[in-house]
A and B are shown apart, each in its own frame.
Chain A
Amino acid sequence: MKLVRIFACVLLLVVVAGSLAAHWIAPANYATQFRDELPNAGPSKAHWLGTDDLGRDRYSRVLYGTRVSLLLAPAAALLSTFLAALIGALAGYLGGAWEKFAMASTDLFLSLPWLFLLLMVRAMLPLNVSPFTSVMVTFLLLGLLGWSASARVLCAGAKNIRNSDFVMLARASGVGKIRLMFLHVLPNLKPVLLAQFWISIPVFILSEANLGILGLGVAEPLPSWGSLLRELENFANFSGEYWKLVPLGLLVLTVTSFQLVLSREGEVAA
């Protein structure tokens, strides 16, 4: 297992370093359209992963796209995990009216058509918003909207802990509520928090691309992992062009490595 984790760490480092050094190691700018060559070309010396449908170097786009997605998706995942912990764990721990209210809100949150809120946000943003602001807003929204499912799970967990013997004992010996929350409740909810954090990363990366249809997210010509993966949606046109799967493979490997590194941390803490 140790070997696998070392491999995971190295892979993550390589991906992060590659994306940070994109400016120097990418053979072309991510936006340059090589119009004299055929678009959608296969791999060649000049274009290691071929070109996309506008004749842009796919390898360079993967490098730059990683930068955007790998930086912001974990940040948004962290935000949603924090919100889930705050709302779910507090609800479960405090119980009573607060729990009822928080869980009712969570159910409501799970059922509302948020698409329309996103549409409203886009309508409020100016059209000439910089790509960076647009991406930031998108991931912020994803972070703010992505907490509800795990809040319910956390609430159930916190309730369990509230009624457990050791918390009763701690309470009896006069440990304060806040101290209890941070020292006993939250650490015990770690499995759920880690799961929420880990799942959110790929989900947010893909959601960002889907929000492109509402005019949110990464705008052309800036690449992101999500927009690179959307190429695969043109499935009928996919005939043996395996290099197009590289962004997907890279994302899966990165996400798996993330989990392997995380689970190690989980064990250390437990």
Chain B
Amino acid sequence: MMRKAHLLMLTVVLFASAAFGQSGELRFCIKNDPKTFNPIAVADDASETVRYLTGGVLVRVNRQSQQLEPELATSWKISDAGRTITFTLRPNQYFSDGTPFTADDVAFTVKQLMDPNLHSVTGDQFRSGKGEVSTKVLSATKIAITFPAPQAGLDRQFDQVPMMSAKSPKKEMAVLGPFYVADYKAGSYVYLRKNNNYWKKDSSGRKLPLLDAIKLDIQPNRDIELMRFRRGELDLINTLDSDFYDKLAQGAPGQVRDAGPSLDSEQMWFNQVPSAPIADYKKDWFVSQNFRRAVAVAINRADLARIVFAGHAQAAVGPTSPANKIWFNTKLKPLPYDTTAALRYLAQDGFQLQNGVLRDHHGNAVEFSIVTNASSKPRERMATMIQQDLSKIGIKVNVVTLDFPSLIERITAKFNYEAAILGFINTEMDPNSQMTVWMSSGENHAWFPAQKSPVTTWEAEMDKLMQAQTQSPDMKKRKAAWDRVQEIVYEQQPMIYLVNKNALSAVSTNVANAAPVVLRPQTYWNADQIFLRNNGDRSGK
């Protein structure tokens, strides 16, 4: 009897440790060395990963519900027509090195963030107007931050701002997130250990994070990443190439996840810069709305999604992906593939199809080149498919792949290109993060950047709408303005949107609580709640 009871006890203990085991070292890959561990200077993906896993923020956008949730701030209030935000902080919190966290640290972080010499993506998001940002520490747990101009979507922007310690001797290495950087070997790995001072507990009252550590292996090659995942040396692949998805699914169907269309888009555009070193008659084609619309409808997006992305992509509509539940204009539908309509648009501008060659009204054969970056196979394939699609309406396309710096120089400085295919990675849902793309004065207004004043009436209208949405605290008005911008882009096609890639990932069956979503970071957004079954034992594989 005694023996039986022992056995029972043992079974229960074993079961419990398997089911609730707080344990293990999660392993996955980042593509490059992080360029910085300073959370407000982050610009690259690898640093972003480290920041997400180590940084403690005041508020967090829940990647699943897409709603804002309290973190180190228990509550917040926006006042002064969107200029001021007041945070109430969670009391008795400590950085990973034991330094207490107070409102002074928030003031310090904001001061660092708004340093005019910083030039960081995080800081630039808060520069809505000229002038100083002021902070007022109201108590140890209360702080008011005032901006020189109204700032739309102000609270959500703090999702990107991890708090830094004003007093810790460890400076930016003292963190408030679930993990801290314990070791870094250049070119090999970043080792994150569990932060024992992390504040959060799960619904059953367990102290988070559940993992002991995370090892981020630096591996630029995706093939090797996949191989190591198959061997069980890695626990997850955060963004899986569509090429690999089906192959992996054949061997281990339970390990691949397709969370549906992501926020990222792939698009093509024509060079409309008047001073561009290309033939004048070609410039006339590119500024014509009919020409752009014709090209847009002559591209078979369904084929692009099916062949280039093995079905793991959707035909794109415009600047906002349907995955963005808050900002997408649901009235818009993907452009149908229609060569007859394309020829009709072209005929309106005097283009004629003669013996299979499209000619403009001066008799010039329509031929242009598409540049894209050589490091992206999907883009090269899309360009080659577009080449065949457009040949059906008599347009000859030359595909030119370039290394990234040469490509950027051509499209942003020398303007020595005709058409380009590139992608946008949207980490943020708010259209505010795309101001420089849609304002005619913007440096990222790809087809004709940095205009002194808008050259077309529709660009002038977009400027007004973008200004209105960035300054209005009224969410409804903002949405209406952004809906109209999406409609203008749809009508004018300055950017011909091709596809929205699906968010694909691979998660080992050993990983518990992983719930991949479309928002970045897709797979480890809830890293503090993830744990490994079998105590993270890899020997069984």
Q: Which residues of A contact B (CB under 8 A)?
A: 31, 33, 35, 39, 53-55, 119, 122-123, 127-129, 212-215, 219-221, 233-237, 239
Contact = CB atoms under 8 A, between A and B. Distances in A.
19 contacts: A31-B388, A33-B385, A53-B307, A54-B384, A122-B402, A127-B398, A127-B418, A128-B368, A128-B369, A214-B402, A214-B403, A215-B403, A215-B406, A220-B380, A220-B399, A235-B223, A236-B222, A237-B243, A237-B247
A234 B222 CA distance: 9
B381 A53 contact: yes
Query: Which 8 A-B residue pairs are closest in the complex by CB-CB distance?
Result: A213-B374, A236-B223, A127-B369, A220-B399, A236-B226, A215-B402, A220-B384, A215-B400
Contacts of A236: 222-224, 226-227, 244, 247
B384 A128 contact: no
A74 B447 CA distance: 43
Given A55-B307, A127-B398, A213 B368 contact: no
Interface string B216-227: 000000111011
Given A119-B403, A215-B406, A219-B400, A234 B223 contact: yes
Given A127-B400, A213-B375, 5 more contacts: A213-B403, A214-B402, A214-B403, A219-B398, A220-B380
Contacts of A35: 303, 307
A28 to B, nearest CB: 13
Nearest to A230: B377
A127 B387 contact: no
A54 B401 contact: no
A235 B227 CA distance: 10
Nearest to B243: A237
B371 interface: yes
A54 B417 CA distance: 25
Interface of B: 222-224, 226-227, 243-244, 247, 303, 307, 367-369, 371, 374-375, 380-381, 383-385, 387-388, 398-403, 406, 416-418
A237 B243 CA distance: 8
Most buried by B among A39, A53, A127, A213: A127
A234 B381 CA distance: 14
B269 to A, nearest CB: 15
B374 A214 contact: yes
A238 to B, nearest CB: 9
A41 to B, nearest CB: 12
Contacts of A214: 374, 402-403, 406
Nearest to A213: B374
Contacts of B223: 233-237
Contacts of A234: 223, 243
A180 B231 CA distance: 64
Q: Main SS of chain A's interface residues? A: loop
A210 B367 CA distance: 26
Contact of B399 (A53, A213, A219, A237): A219
B374 A127 contact: no
A128 B387 CA distance: 13
Nearest to A127: B369
Contacts of A129: 398
B306 to A, nearest CB: 8
Contacts of A122: 402, 406
A200 to B, nearest CB: 24
Contacts of A219: 398-400
A220 B387 contact: yes
A53 B308 CA distance: 8
A151 B243 CA distance: 44
Nearest to B279: A128
Contacts of B406: 119, 122-123, 214-215
Nearest to B310: A39
Contacts of A119: 403, 406
Contacts of A33: 307, 384-385, 388
B398 to A, nearest CB: 5
Contacts of B398: 127-129, 219
A31 B402 CA distance: 21
A129 B398 CA distance: 8
A32 to B, nearest CB: 8
A55 B402 CA distance: 24
Contact of A213 (B384, B401, B416): B401
B386 to A, nearest CB: 11
Nearest to B224: A236
B243 to A, nearest CB: 6
